C-alpha cells in the first residue's frame, strides 16, 4: 500500500477514535446523574490513546491499548450477540445496552463492536518495532484502578473496581481478583499479538 494512502487511512481512524473518546466524555459530563466518574472508564481512556496512536503512527501505543481492551471486548461482543439471538444476557455485561436510555450513549457504546478489528488493522499498517508494550498496559491498568477507587464511589462502580460487572467471580478477595484477571488478560493478549507476524516489522 502506498504511504500516502496508508497515512490517509490511519489519520481517518485516529480522528474517529478521538471523536468517539471526546464524545463519550462530553456525553458523560452532560449527564448530571452520572457525574464525572464515568470519564475514568478504561474504554474512554483507551479510545483517546488509540486515536493518538493512529495519528502519530505509533504501533507501540496502539498495541498497549489493544491488549487492555481485547479480551474484555471479546466477552462484550459474545454477550451482545447472545442477547440479540436469545433475548437475554449470558455474562450480565450488556444488559445496560438493551434498556431504555440515551441514544447517544448507546451509539458511543457500539464502539465495542468495531474498536478491536479497526485497531488491529491500524497495527497491521504501522507494524511493531518493540514487543514490551505490555509494560505500558500494566502501568495504565494499575493507575486507572487506583485513581478510580479514590475518585469514585461503589454506586458508580466505574471499571468494575468495587465489584464484578459480570455474573461470575472466583471467590478471591476482590482487589486481588481484579488485578489477577486484568493482568492475565493483558498477558494473554500480548502473547497473541507478538505471535502474529503481520504485526511486526520484518
- pLDDT tens digit sequence for 27-71: 877 765 656 677 889 999 999 999 999 999 999 999 999 999 999
Question: What distances in angstroms separate CA 153 from CA 10, 80, 150, 162, 191, one per listed residue?
Answer: 37, 27, 8, 8, 34
Grid coordinates belonging to 79: 454477550
Question: Is the model more confident about 49 or about 26?
Answer: 49
For the segment 102-121, what is each residue's pLDDT rounded down to a tens digit? Answer: 788 888 899 999 999 999 99
Contact 68, 53 (CB under 8 A): no
Grid coordinates belonging to 146: 487506583
Which range marks the domain in which residue 57 is found? 3-199
Contact 53, 122 (CB under 8 A): yes
- Number of domains the chain contains: 1
Categorize the per-residue pLDDT at 199 as very low, low, confident or very high, splitting at 50, 70 and 90: very high
Contact 22, 53 (CB under 8 A): no
pLDDT at 35: 64
Amino acid at each position: 500500500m502506498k504511504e500516502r494512502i496508508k497515512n490517509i487511512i490511519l489519520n481517518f481512524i485516529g480522528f474517529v477514535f478521538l471523536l468517539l473518546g471526546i464524545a463519550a466524555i462530553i456525553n458523560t459530563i452532560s449527564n448530571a446523574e452520572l457525574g464525572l466518574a464515568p470519564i475514568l472508564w478504561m474504554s474512554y481512556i483507551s479510545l483517546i490513546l488509540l486515536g493518538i496512536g493512529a495519528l502519530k503512527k505509533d504501533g507501540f501505543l496502539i498495541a498497549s491499548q489493544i491488549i487492555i481492551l481485547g479480551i474484555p471486548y471479546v466477552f462484550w461482543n459474545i454477550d451482545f450477540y447472545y442477547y440479540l439471538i436469545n433475548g437475554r444476557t449470558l455474562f450480565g455485561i450488556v444488559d445496560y445496552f438493551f434498556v431504555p436510555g440515551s441514544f447517544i450513549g448507546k451509539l458511543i457504546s457500539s464502539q465495542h463492536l468495531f474498536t478491536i478489528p479497526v485497531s488491529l488493522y491500524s497495527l497491521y499498517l504501522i507494524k511493531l518495532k518493540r514487543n514490551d508494550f505490555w509494560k505500558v498496559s500494566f502501568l495504565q491498568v494499575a493507575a486507572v484502578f487506583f485513581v478510580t477507587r479514590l475518585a469514585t464511589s461503589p454506586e458508580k462502580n466505574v471499571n468494575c473496581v468495587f465489584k464484578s460487572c459480570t455474573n461470575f467471580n472466583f471467590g478471591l478477595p476482590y482487589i486481588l481478583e481484579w488485578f489477577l484477571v486484568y493482568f492475565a488478560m493483558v498477558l494473554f493478549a500480548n502473547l497473541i499479538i507478538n505471535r502474529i507476524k503481520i504485526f511486526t516489522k520484518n
